[in-house]
Amino acid sequence: MMQYASFVFFVPARGANVTGNEEGVPAVSKGTVRLTMAQAVVRYLCNQFTEIDGERVPLFGGVFAIFGHGNVTCLSEALEAVQDQLPTWRGQNEQSMALAAIGYTKAKRRRQIMIAASSIGPGALNMVTAAGTAHSNRLPILLISGDTFNNRLPDPVLQQVEHYGNPTVTVNDAFKAVTRYWDRITHPAQLMASFPQAIAAMLDPADCGPAFIALPQDTQEIAFDYPEAFFEPKTWRIPRPRPDRESVREAAELLKTAKRPLVISGGGVRYSGAEDAVAAFAQKRGIPVVETVSGKGALTHYHPVHAGPLGIIGSTSANALAEKADVIVAVGTRLQDFTTGSWTAFARDAKFIGINAARWDAMKHRSLPVVGDALEGVNELDAALGDWTADAAHMKTAKALFQEWDNLLTEHQTPTNQPLPTYAHVVGAVNRAAGDNDNMITAAGGLPGEVQKGWRVKSPNTYDLEFGFSCMGYEVAGGWGNAMANDGRCDTYVMVGDGSYMMMNSDIYSTVLTGHKLIVIVCDNGGYAVISRLQEFKGTPGFNNLIKDCRIENRSEPLHVNFADHARSMGAEARHCESLADLEAALEWAKGNERTTVLSINTDAYAWVPGDADWDVGVPEVSERKAVQEARAHQEEIRKKQRVGV
């Protein structure tokens, strides 16, 4: 494991614009040190620390960077000098390396952060999608981009987008919509005020998300006498705000009225480290626990209080419990529509208690807000309940429903003699092959539903489904970040559809270069199958989603990519599997390999595990198609069930 110095003493590169002695050490006068702005940024970042399980570790685990116009001459010079303290990893695409940074911080449960650095122009804009992914998932990532010249003397520079009526606007302004903190450093002294605020925002449980800093290229080069105190090592601690006592009392009184209570465990449970507290609370009080997409993995599949994933890509057991629940304790969740079934999953008169560090989330749908850290909030609610417990029959019902659900999973995952295996068959095979502490990574498309339903979590915090932003292309990149965070302690399994693979796969090559092994399973069902399913279900014939339904010049040509050959061309080990038996054998082979291994298998585009939740989507109000008219009528029935204005 890499050893980190507790203090980094920056030695500028030869020829840097500083005053120094014979050894090249910057001259220090009256408690200052002369550095370029870029050197000061790097030196400051190297001296930020945090604590994980009592151990002091660097807050920033490293930098993903692609150097180009706007960051190659100054920022790269500063990063090169400290590569043993703050390692820099080269990605293949700015979006994917920022997604890898997200995968890293998810694996670290927001306790350590990665940096993604780009050039100006297209390099920066490539990271906007990743910023949106981090923002929607409440995840910290530090994005640093080059920017145009402050002095404007050489304008317009390479990659500059000019706004005639506002010359201060650059492409970096696009990040304002998808970041929690945004700044442009136009004077070298500004970073002393800006960077501490950026870090505080990223570590604040209530305001957590990506921070973006633009570094104009002419400002990066300027030398400035920085106070030495600015570079003193600092250990950051993630705060645990306690909820208001009166809100806890009111929540306890409301929960005591419940006949059929339910706990929704969200991603905030995992990021707060509240898994054990939530499980103990639910077990002590006799309340079943259902999971959101981000919350899945806080409890193991067979935990006594676990009742399955909730919502549109959830389980029959969780959705049946939600339909009858009278008081719902929503812990650390933003209550996204895939969790709530577009607010059709609950009774109209159901009451919500929102335990959340973010006031915005705690108050949703007239919840009784308990604004505070998930761990503190659950523990204080538990203390306020006295000896109250739910009727034992309620948990008995939940266990029976979950057993039925588990049996249904087994039925769908058991191999058959049909020509093509289903997603459920493949998920079951990979789940059985994975070790107890191995990690599962997936994202957009058809796999989220099948993995959210069918992946039986064996150990807490071994599951990462990016569905807060449903970002196609996260899978391989996020897997790279996950493998980097886990540092060889376990295998990282990546499940990806052929559509997402085609969108972003180049970090297979990155993992081969860096030695962060992945086991990638490509499920090839001939295109964007799950969105085609939605399209056809709402009355439009299959169109432009499955490859067979696209405009193709020569239909006599093969329609499918040879994914195994493609992966081998990037240095990975690879096999195409003709059957589930082939896949099971290949998974054993992959576990023994030292480098990233890609396994492809053709899968059924039309078979899906049921989940029994509705979803509100737009359906044409008028159409000549009878199928669309019927779908519209069905959608109107769904909307009648929504909790509107309550």
The answer to which of 67-81, 320-334, 611-625 has the lowest mean pLDDT is: 611-625
The answer to which of 230-239, 552-561, 622-631 has the lowest mean pLDDT is: 552-561
**What percent of the residues of the chain are helix, what percent strand, and what percent coil, each to the nearest 5?**
40, 20, 45
Task: Give 625's contacts (C-beta < 8 A, 6+ positions apart).
Answer: 539, 540
Rounded to 10 degrees, the C-alpha dihedral 508/569/586/440 comes to 10
Task: Provide the 3-class DSSP secondary structure of residue 226.
Answer: strand
The β-bridge relationship of strands 28-29 and 32-36 is antiparallel
Tell me the HSE value of 157 on the side-chain side, using a 13 A CA sphere: 20
User: How far is C-alpha 539 from the geometric centre of its chain's CA atoms?
Assistant: 32
| pLDDT at residue number 646 | 55
Superfamily (CATH) of domain 414-602? Thiamin diphosphate (ThDP)-binding fold, Pyr/PP domains (3.40.50.970)
- CATH number for the region 28-236 comes to 3.40.50.970
Q: Is the pLDDT of residue 136 over 50?
A: yes
pLDDT tens per residue, range 149-159: 999 999 999 98
| pLDDT at residue number 290 | 98
Average pLDDT, the chain: 93
- For the chain, domain boundaries: 28-236, 245-400, 414-602
Tell me, yes or no, if the pTM score tops 0.95. no
Task: Provide the 3-class DSSP secondary structure of residue 483.
Answer: helix
Give the pair of three-digit tokens for residue 376.
């503190």
Interatomic CA distance for residues 199 and 195, integer angstroms: 6
Interatomic CA distance for residues 470 and 330, integer angstroms: 22
Interatomic CA distance for residues 39 and 16, integer angstroms: 10
β-partners of residue 143 are 116, 212
Task: Give 196's contacts (C-beta < 8 A, 6+ positions apart).
Answer: none
Q: Is the pLDDT of residue 11 over 50?
A: no
| pLDDT at residue number 577 | 97
Task: Give 248's contacts (C-beta < 8 A, 6+ positions apart).
Answer: 370, 377, 380, 381, 384
> If we measure between CA atoms, which residue out of 107, 2, 63, 4 comes closest to residue 490?
107
> If we measure between CA atoms, which residue out of 551, 549, 555 comes closest to residue 535?
549
On the question of a common fold for 28-236 and 414-602, the answer reads yes
Interatomic CA distance for residues 646 and 347, integer angstroms: 11
pLDDT bucket at 8, cuts 50 / 70 / 90: very low
DSSP string covering 31-93? TEEEEEHHHHHHHHHHTEEEEETTEEEESEEEEEE---TTTTTTHHHHHHTTTTTS-EEE-SS
Write the DSSP symbol of residue 228: G
Superfamily (CATH) of domain 245-400? TPP-binding domain (3.40.50.1220)
* 586-597 average pLDDT score: 97
pLDDT tens per residue, range 493-527: 999 999 999 999 999 999 999 999 999 999 999 99
pLDDT tens per residue, range 278-333: 999 999 999 999 999 999 999 999 999 999 999 999 999 999 999 999 999 999 99
Interatomic CA distance for residues 463 and 460, integer angstroms: 8
- φ and ψ at 541, to 5 degrees? -60, 155
* 342-358 average pLDDT score: 96
pLDDT bucket at 417, cuts 50 / 70 / 90: confident
8 Å CB contact between 473 and 103: no
| pLDDT at residue number 30 | 59
| pLDDT at residue number 645 | 63
| pLDDT at residue number 233 | 97
| pLDDT at residue number 612 | 75
Task: Give 135's contacts (C-beta < 8 A, 6+ positions apart).
Answer: 178, 179, 180, 209, 210
- φ and ψ at 39, to 5 degrees? -65, -40
- φ and ψ at 540, to 5 degrees? -95, 130
Buried b (16+ CB within 10 A) or exposed e, 557-582: eeeeeebbebbeebebbbbbbeebee
8 Å CB contact between 435 and 492: no
Which of residues 642 and 279 earns the better pLDDT score? 279
Task: Provide the 3-class DSSP secondary structure of residue 4.
Answer: coil
Rounded to 10 degrees, the C-alpha dihedral 396/400/406/408 comes to -160
Which amino acid is located at 153 in the chain?
L
8 Å CB contact between 38 and 215: yes
DSSP string covering 116-164? EEE-STHHHHTTHHHHHHHHHTT---EEEEEE--SS-TTPSPTTPPP-T
Which of residues 242 and 550 earns the better pLDDT score? 242
User: How far is C-alpha 545 from the geometric centre of its chain's CA atoms?
Assistant: 25
| pLDDT at residue number 20 | 44
